Structure 1
């Protein structure tokens, strides 16, 4: 459920277009997508907070959260459950 929505938000925020459609749960994010710089991470977090009605604290964010698209979707699911 969360994967497709998180993927759509990621594609929109990073303006990946058609190339973003090929992303899977195992697709690496940080260090693999040049578009995902520090400013893009901030924008992505804001978009996720707005869409899912969650609050993401600075302490919640780690490299492992953004390791893959799957880990990011799992993080959002966990935050929704809190």
Structure 2
């Protein structure tokens, strides 16, 4: 999970133009969508596309919902579940 978590952090920093220090402070319960002004609906598409590219996964449209983007931990768990399939 550590490699996936590192990748999720890097994607959030790169796509949302967040400082590495800010992203390093994210914990599992850190709210994302709705809490980070940088993470709007357009940025979500960028984050998911970048996760697909970096992790070599495919994210189907019907898998994307508010719950998977609610917290850093939820997004990381989702990405890990896709990477391990």
Settle same-fold status: TM greater than 0.5.
Answer: yes
User: How many positions carry a matched residue from both structures?
Assistant: 82
Higher mean alpha-carbon deviation, 7-16 vs 32-41, is at 7-16
How far 1:21 moved relative to its partner? 2.7
5+ residue gaps, structure 1, are none
Structure 2 gap ranges (5+)? none
TM-score (norm 2): 0.89
Could you state the TM-score of these two structures normalised by the residue count of structure 1? 0.92
Contact 1:3 1:25 (C-alpha < 8 Å) held by counterparts: no
The whole-number CA distance in structure 2 between the counterparts of 1:79 and 1:20 is 22
- Which of 41, 44, 57 is matched with 1:41 structurally? 44
Q: For the aligned residues, what is the CA RMSD?
A: 1.0
